[in-house]
Structure 1
């Protein structure tokens, strides 16, 4: 299973559409691409509209095919996945990008998020979970493999220590309740679980998350966690 972070900032995803989710598969190993395509071909609500063997080809095909979701490796010839992710977000801003890789390095995870990826999954994920991951991301969620989730804040903490000398503009003030919500978001809890934890309604949680994103001028829950850790709004042990 993957850690899911539900976004409330980007409105509706593809879950309410009757059109299949259009997917572009990007990997430099042809057998891996074939395997993914064969699995996804069995899903009536998912359509593989194209494939690419490297980042440069991925950017070109994304511009032509306008996929809803891109499944992309990080380590590829000619142009790597992270660089291609940035370029694809420029060409097709609506595309949701899942990095599907063997790399469990914290730096790759952080750079992928900065580049605009909304999912980071290791290739050890059961193949039958890929379709559910595509649906989740298309529906507005962000996904991180469990083994990477705990490394996320560790990487941010290391970056903070290196930036102690850097001057910062004072961060917007969050209320105590908003900080409580943000801490639970950082732990990967969804709105329903946060509501149960804090004994408030799910709608109240959604309002708190919306206020947090507006105050921080960010677009997703994952970005909010990155920002909060960098600005020392969250304590990391």
Structure 2
């Protein structure tokens, strides 16, 4: 049996942490290793516990989840951070993803949906929503100048990047190019490593910023 994914819960509300504990208790391959009530404690506990995944609230005292996400991802880029929020307000979620978070979960969704999403995060298989893709396009459409930098991606990697920017899932990309999902995951892994990025939102933003994707 493989080792369970180690999870750190970060939320200043006890009832919220309790609800998350109850959901995760039903999943054998996810193990809670600690809980924090603010961003500063989250950073300290990440250093101590080295979790695989952090479930991060946004609005907390002392330091919010956005700033904590930025600091943790800078120090520990391998840690996957999922924003846990009661609101699907795209602005905060977009900022969190730009700071390195891998995705987000709404507290009020059906708990049965959590497992598939958490597993997809663990497998690096979560696509962007259409709202986020549109917001990225809007942000870089308004810019007059692009940064210039040589594109290090192969032809196929560039093709994968263009579909990622449109919000395609791994399975849809695989179907488009008649390749396996495993091959798609490898392409994405190589692309992110080449560009030193953490997730699809950062990747899409970077590609628009450098003019590697046409704003159609």
Q: TM-score, normalised by structure 2?
A: 0.82
C-alpha contact 2:100 2:199 (8 A) present in aligned 1: no
Equivalent residue number for residue 51 of structure 2:
67
From the superposition, tell whether residues 31 and 231 of structure 1 become closer, same or farther in structure 2 (CA, over 3 Å).
same
Equivalent residue number for residue 99 of structure 1:
83
From the superposition, tell whether residues 176 and 88 of structure 1 become closer, same or farther in structure 2 (CA, over 3 Å).
closer
From 149, 153, 175, give the equivalent of 1:196.
175
From the superposition, tell whether residues 235 and 222 of structure 1 become closer, same or farther in structure 2 (CA, over 3 Å).
same
From the superposition, tell whether residues 59 and 212 of structure 1 become closer, same or farther in structure 2 (CA, over 3 Å).
closer
C-alpha contact 1:72 1:100 (8 A) present in aligned 2: yes
Equivalent residue number for residue 132 of structure 2:
152
Q: Distance in 2 between matches of 1:39 and 1:210?
A: 30
Unaligned runs of 5+ in 2: none
From 90, 94, 101, give the equivalent of 1:117.
101
Deviations 1:1-37 (A, max 9, x none): xxxxxxxxxxxxxxxx721211111112211110110
* Matched pairs, number: 216
Q: Distance in 1 between matches of 2:4 and 2:163?
A: 33
C-alpha contact 2:130 2:167 (8 A) present in aligned 1: no
Unaligned runs of 5+ in 1: 1-16
Taking only aligned residues, the RMSD between alpha carbons, in angstroms, comes to 2.9
C-alpha contact 2:101 2:199 (8 A) present in aligned 1: no
From the superposition, tell whether residues 198 and 84 of structure 1 become closer, same or farther in structure 2 (CA, over 3 Å).
same
C-alpha contact 1:142 1:222 (8 A) present in aligned 2: no
Equivalent residue number for residue 77 of structure 1:
61
User: Which aligned pairs between 1:140-219 and structure 2 lie closer than 5 A?
Assistant: 140-142=124-126, 149-164=129-144, 166=145, 168-172=147-151, 178-200=157-179, 205=184, 209=188, 212-213=191-192, 216=195, 218=197
Q: Higher relative contact order by CA 8 Å / sep ≥ 6: 1 or 2? A: 1
Deviations 1:133-189 (A, max 9, x none): 222222333465xxxx1221222223214421x452245276765444323222333
Q: Describe the SS at the equivalent of 2:28.
A: coil
C-alpha contact 1:137 1:143 (8 A) present in aligned 2: no
Q: Distance in 2 between matches of 1:112 and 1:223?
A: 10
Q: Distance in 2 between matches of 1:96 and 1:185?
A: 19
Q: Distance in 1 between matches of 2:210 and 2:164?
A: 16
